[in-house]
Structures are given as structure tokens and as C-alpha cells.
Amino acid sequence: MEQTTYIARTSGLKFRDYLGYALVDTAGCLIFSLVTTLLQKYYTDILHLSPLFIMLMFIGARIWDAINDPIMGRIADTARPSKYGRYRAWILYAAVPLALSGVLMFVKLPNMGEPDRVLFTCVWATVTYVLFGMIYTMLQIPYGSLASVVTTDDRERSRLSVWRSVGAAIGSIPVLVIASFAYAKRLDASGAPILGENGRAITDMQYRPVLIGVVIMAAVSALLLILAFTMNRERVKTRPQPKEKGATKKAIALLFKNRAFVSISMVSMLLLSGQMFTQSFYTYLFDDYFHANWMNLATQACTYSPMLVFMFFLPKLARKIGKKEITAVGLTLAALSNLALFFLRGTDPGRLMWIFLALNFVSGCGLTTLVMQLWAMVTDSTDEIEVTTGSRDTGTAYSVFNFFRKLGQVLSAICVNGALLGMHYRYEKGAVQTPENLRTMYDLATLIPAVLFGVMAVLLFAVYPLSKRRVLRLQEEKEQKLRESYEQQIIDI
């Protein structure tokens, strides 16, 4: 007997569905976290690359993404689905290539990093980084689109977003273990630790433990993607979009006319920029300013631990208050916490590290509200585009959204490397930072996230239009759209 609504017929997720969906981001973040946390310091401290070159390389890679991402989006939308589905199949296709590309970024060939091999080192870093970015796109764009065909129910999508965020957080933890233990004290000829100008022992990143950790994480990532592939299911079976001339341009134009999509894309761009900035720049801060590498693990625990509590009640709270409303308040809290850390500059580092961790926990609580609802908000915006324009170019939508997130990586690279250049960070072998450098490092490490999170809060409060009331109305419109699409044989159920 036919169920009451078309939304009900394309929903009904079980624990296996949520877990399988989350595992994709767990696996992806095992590799992506290497980029956000370790790669920047690996480039400067082991390959001895200039911060200026790193910044230009990241910008150049994003320029290529402006071409590469829409191509992947159109492939996902227009290709004939395989027997595994339209989007789900790409989880399997990307599993091994993603793992290999992650390892290649951290492979140091003989004499790389030496003054007479600078050009070769730069070329190797660029090629391996761009290769990783292309393969990661091959996974992320279909994965983002997958939520739209796994379920059409707003409540289930909200829970999927939470599970995806928890999966991403779990995938980001192992790299912090590497970041905490891949250092050793710098010793003089007699074997005694060398002290910096602040009297604390200087530590250096070690190549061998980094590479071993990367290889292990890459192997686990590939296995998890294969497992996740077997656990996911597409409930809405979409037909290929027609390959019409100018279709890509038309689809992208519709996206940029939608205020909800553009504003949530900008918020996501700034979120990723803030997360990547802190994860990359904190490795310098904890190593050079606090001389406490264990803080890499501790601060991420403070940032992500709120998820363990929020995952149980945030979806219900978001339905009661509204996704837009609760995330805007959370981002305001995150901005104020980082601003408070900035005004605490000058406090003795021994005392400040504990205050730093406490306020990071408060900031983490605020950020968690957005991190756990972001993907549901993106899907809401693509639903609005579909019900108002009839466009089902989901892959193209996620390619543009993914490109905004990659612009966030560019912004992060500019912030991180601009900060290093501005404070005259000394990256040559055996360098020691001056006290003035360290003071500037702390100021930038706290002020930049405060500004980024504050701008995000303003965008959600003032620009993003999908309030609780609008989302409820959108569900009714989506039910009618599903009925029309099914009757016109645009989709199968």
C-alpha cells in the first residue's frame, strides 16, 4: 500500500545508514586533517619551503579548482548511474587513489629540502598537493550530493549532518596524536637541549614518525571508504541531466541568484578558513610560544568534545529554535571567546595555557552548533533552488559549494603564511624565534579567528534567509515537487 507522502517513501534511515554516511567523512578527514594540521609545518620545517611560496602554491591550486570542481559536478549530474548508484559509486572509486595521494604529499625524496634542490622540492610539493586536491574533489562532491538522495526528510537530514560532523571529528583526532609526538628536543654537540631566548627547550618536527603516521592513516582511510560504500543506499534514483550546451553556466547562474546558497557557502568558506588557520597556526604557537606540543591534542579535544554531548540533543534543539537561529548564536559565542583570548595577551604562558584551553572549549561549543548543522543547511538551500526553479543539478551545486570551501583554504593559507611573513618567522634549519616574533604570533593566533567567526555570525543573522518558519514551509513545497518529479518520471523511488 502506498505510504502517505513521497517524503516518507524516500526516507526511513536506520542506524546503519547514519553510521555508513558518517564513515565517509571519517575516512576523508583522516587524509584531509593531514593537510589542515601537519602539511604547513612539514613544508616549512622539514622541506624548508618559504611561506611565500607555500601561499602562492595554495592560491594556484585553487585557481585550478575553479575549473576542476565544476567539471566533477557536471560529471556527477550527467553521467549514467552505475549499478552502485549515481553518487555512492564514487566512494569506492576514490578509496585507494585518495590514500596514495595523501602519502605522496609527505614523501621526502633524497636531498629534498637542501638549498641546491629548492626547485625540485617546490615542483614535487606542487604536483603532489594538486593531485591530492583533485582526488579529494572526486570524493567530496558526490558525497555532498549523496545526502539529497539518501533521504528527503528534513529531520533525518539534520541527523545526517550531525553524524557527518561527528565522523569528521573522529577522523581528525589521529593526526593530533602525530602532531603531539612527532617532535624531539634540539640537542647541541654534547647532547644537551638547546634553549630558546625565552629559556625553554627548542623542539623540531621529525620526518620519520610523521611518515609512519601518515601511511597508517592513509591505509585506514581506504579501508573505511570501502566499508562505507557497502553501508550507504540511494533512495531517490535520479535520471541523468541532459547534456545541453550552456547547461553548466545556467546551473551555476541559478546558484548565485539564490541568497541562501551563496550565504551558507560564504559561511562554510569562513568556517573552514578559521578551522584550518587554527589547526595549522596552533602547531607553531604550541611549539614555539608555549613549548607544549601536547596542547595540539588538548585543544582539539576542547574543540571537538562538545560534539559528544551536542549530538544527542542538537537536532531536536535545531527543530525547536531553528538551524539559522541556533548557529548564529553559537558563532557569536565562538567569536567572543577568541576575542577574550586576544585581550589576555601578556599573561605568563605557564598560566595562560590553561585559560587558553578553557576558552577553546567555550569556542568549540559555539562552533559545534554550526559544524553539526552545516550540511543540513546546505541541503535546505539546494532544496529551495529545486522547488523555486526546478533545477536538480545537485552535483553542480556541491561543486560550487566545495569551491567556496577551497577558497576558505586559500584564505587560511593567506592568513597563516601572511602571519608568518609579517612576524618574520625564521624557517631556515636551526632557526630560533625572537620574543617579539612570539608575541606577534600569539596576537594573530587569537585575533584572526575572532574576526572570522564574528563575520560568520553576521552573515547568518543578517543574510541567510532560511529561518525556522521558512524551512517548515519548504518541506511542504518539497513534497509537492517530489510528487511532480515522480509523475513526470524525472526520478524513481
For residue range 455-492, list pLDDT tens digits in order: 999 999 999 999 999 988 888 888 887 787 777 777 76
161-165, 283-287, 432-436, range with the lowest pLDDT: 432-436
* Confidence at residue 197, expressed as pLDDT on a 0 to 100 scale: 60
Query: What is the pLDDT confidence band of residue 213, given thresholds at 50, 70 and 90?
Result: very high
Structural domains present in the chain: 6-238+247-492 (1.20.1250.20)
DSSP E strands: which ranges in 264-403? none
φ and ψ at 280, to 5 degrees? -75, -50
* pLDDT > 70? residue 28: yes
The whole-angstrom separation of Cα 44 and Cα 90 is 34
Q: Which residue has the cell 513545497?
A: 477
- Per residue in 287-303, pLDDT tens? 888 888 888 888 878 88
More confident residue, 220 or 234: 220
Largest CA distance in the chain: 83
Q: Which residue has the cell 505510504?
A: 3
Are the C-beta atoms of residues 233 and 91 closer than 8 Å to each other?
Answer: no
The whole-angstrom separation of Cα 233 and Cα 231 is 7
pTM: 0.75
How large a percentage of the chain has pLDDT more than 90? 39
The whole-angstrom separation of Cα 340 and Cα 331 is 14
* pLDDT > 90? residue 155: no
Query: What is the pLDDT confidence band of residue 243, given thresholds at 50, 70 and 90?
Result: low
Average pLDDT, the chain: 87
Q: Specify the pairing of strand 491-492 against strand 237-238.
A: antiparallel
* pLDDT > 50? residue 426: yes
* Confidence at residue 241, expressed as pLDDT on a 0 to 100 scale: 61
19-33, 173-187, 434-448, 464-478, range with the lowest pLDDT: 173-187
Overall average pLDDT of the 387-415 stretch: 84
Overall average pLDDT of the 48-68 stretch: 87
* pLDDT > 80? residue 360: yes
* Confidence at residue 242, expressed as pLDDT on a 0 to 100 scale: 62
- Four-CA torsion 155, 156, 157, 159, nearest 10 degrees: 90
